[in-house]
Structure 1
Amino acid sequence: MAHPSAARLIPDCRVSVDGKKLDTEKDAALTRVEVDLDVDLFGQCVLVFNDPQQKLINGKDFESGTAIKVEIGFSSKLQKIFEGEVVALEPQFRRDMPPSLRVVCQESLHRLALSQMTRAFNDVDDKEIANKIAQEHGLSADAPSGTKEHILQGNVTDAAFLRRLAQKHGNHLRIEGKKLIIGPPPSGASITVGPGDGLRKVKVRVQSNTQVEEISVHGYDPKTKKEFVGKAKGSGVVGEGTSKYGKGKTLSFAGHEHQPADQATAEAMAKGRMR
């Protein structure tokens, strides 16, 4: 009898459709799972099924909007790596190969990119903007507050507009369940890897020529007619790397997309970009 710890080393991939694990027949037909988590676009997952009888191609198991979740890991210790919905079906018919179905899924954030819009937000901060847009899409929002100002959404989608607001402070835009979140990416637990964990090779590369010690964001106050500058240096592990490999180097931002409204905003933007 195999030792219980041996189950830890058996890789597994679980796909759930509408909250239910794929049945045995569909799971056996699943030949490929591709997950691309792109923070600048939308996370995407592609499922490929062999479908010689064309049951899935002609069926309704993967209608548009069907919830999809993908988990990977070892044995019972699976972790969710993708959660979204079906956006496209691509039947494939190739010579000398059985028919197959390619199911394309995207994170639910894609719904905020279906149409472009032009409008003005007057005397509001990022939190109020996020709340308003989230309510329009039936969501709640969690975003940092800040200086109130006038902001134009100029012929861009809500997703692109919110992403710009997030990137202004070095944050990311994501949806968790029914909540729209603007903030730092979620941090996972520390992982300790050693020879006994199946490790075969480790390769580390440090690009020291692209490291900087300090970030500065420049703005202009029309009332005082003076420039203000927000600066930030790395802290913790980031600070150790920047001070060691980027000593004396400063990366400055001036007139880049969004101008800081005041000194506090400039410092927050610099701190976010250094994160």
Structure 2
Amino acid sequence: MSTETPMAQAPVYAARPSVLLNGQRCPAADELLICAEVHEQRDGLAHAELRFADTVRTTERGIGWAFETDEGSSLSLGTSVRLFMGDETSPQEIFQGIISAVEASFGPEHPPELLVFAEDALWKARMKRRTATYTERTLGGLVETIASELGLRARVSGLDQDPGTQVQINETDLGFLRRVLERFDGWMKISGQHMEAGPWSHGSSQEITLELHSLLKSVRVTVDLADQVSAVTYSGWDPAQGAVIHVESHGALPLGPGTGRTGTQVLEQAFGPRREHAGAFVAADDREARALVDSLYLQRARRFVMVDGCAVGHPGLRVGSRVRLRGLGPRFDNTYTVTRTCHRFDLINGYETDFEAEGARFEG
């Protein structure tokens, strides 16, 4: 018996996207949308690409421009865009952002088309470059400070560790946040006008079941020992304390969902133990060094099993959500964490969701 959640209450899953421009419905945009893609990743800055037919027939003018008028275009630079996808009776917001680029396409093989590119509110962090020093605040407090300076509201949970003094030198806010959060195994994303951040180990409470040849259309699962290690070590010098730093991280860490043996366990059985020394990094003290080796170990361990799949369009498949795959056989049926998504729609294939996911355990 299937454990999947139905995508719609009706017998047919109708999932044509709808668009809001500057907060208003635009019937022409809904009708003339040819294809759409929304890309989301673990370290933030989602972006969307929307392609529209740029001609329309009216009783007054006959065939003419759809978005190129004397009054101006509704698809112009700086226009806010909200894209909804999923069941037409209860669509979910997939993207909210600002149009940052437009492209017109003309040729003999198709009528005029207009392609717009939009980024979510993290575009402000991508554009803002600054030099600053952050002291005496938690990692969550650092995220809240930068969010406030960007005009965003912060939703932070679980980032209560002290990152020490963090220096941003002629670096974009986006690059700085990505660098610091990666070192402390954190994530961030934009939801409307809120910057959300937290530890990657917490993930999302939402779990979605996908069965092969049902909601799961195709999938490739790769189990690879190439980057697996028994432990990650770091050695250095703490100038403030005048002491040697030596820390080590191994398997006693939260590895996320799933069942089976870890990459470390399989590696040691198949090839023997292997240690990785983090010699290319610099840590100021024992606390920062511990966070560094834990993050490096977790990044390797969680990528032991990599999933690349395509599902029937599912607005619940978002970065950080858990996906339970079924129908792949006893070794590959497991629960994984989604790390990247592409929600796409076109007039031939309809609404589909490409996703990448990772897992730290394997039943083989």
SS at match of 1:187: coil
Identity within the alignment, %: 24
* Alpha-carbon separation, structure 2, partners of 1:156 and 1:239: 42
Q: Structure 2 matches for 1:1-275, cutoff 5 A? A: 5-7=10-12, 9-23=13-27, 25-40=28-43, 42-52=45-55, 53-58=64-69, 59-76=72-89, 78-141=91-154, 142=156, 144-147=159-162, 149-184=164-199, 186-187=203-204, 189-194=206-211, 197=214, 199=216, 201-222=218-239, 223-233=241-251, 234-235=253-254, 237=258, 240-247=261-268, 248-256=273-281, 259-273=282-296, 274=298
The alignment covers a number of residue pairs equal to 269
Structure 2 counterpart SS, 1:167: helix
Deviation at 1:4, TM superposition (A): 5.6
Deviation at 1:219, TM superposition (A): 4.2
Choose between structure 1 and 2: higher strand proportion.
Answer: 2
State the TM-score, normalized to the length of structure 2: 0.63
Aligned-residue CA RMSD (Å): 3.1
Per the TM alignment, residue 158 of structure 1 is displaced from its structure 2 partner at its CA by 1.1
Q: What TM-score results when the alignment is normalised by the length of structure 1?
A: 0.81
Unmatched 5+ stretches in structure 2: 1-7, 56-63, 303-364
Gaps of 5+ in 1: none
1:245 is paired with a residue of what secondary structure? helix
Shift of 1:165: 1.0
Deviation at 1:123, TM superposition (A): 4.5
Compared CA separation, residues 84 and 212, structure 1 to 2 (3 A): farther
Structure 1 CA distance, aligned partners of 2:118 and 2:208? Answer: 29
Higher relative contact order (CA 8 A, sep 6+): 2
CA distance in 2, matches of 1:201, 1:90: 32
Deviations 1:100-133 (A, max 9, x none): 2111101110111213222333454433432332
Conserved in 2, the CA contact under 8 Å of 1:91 and 1:102?
yes
Structure 2 Cα separation of the partners of residues 125 and 201 of structure 1: 42
Q: Write 1 or 2 for the structure with the bigger share of helix.
A: 1
- List per-residue Cα deviations over 1:159-202 (Å, max 9, x = no partner): 11111111111212322233323323552632323367355554
Task: For residue 163 of structure 1, give the secondary structure of its aligned residue in structure 2.
Answer: helix
Instruction: Give the secondary structure class of the aligned counterpart of 2:176.
Output: helix
Q: Distance in 1 between matches of 2:216 and 2:141?
A: 47
Q: Which moved more, 1:99-108 or 1:65-74?
A: 65-74
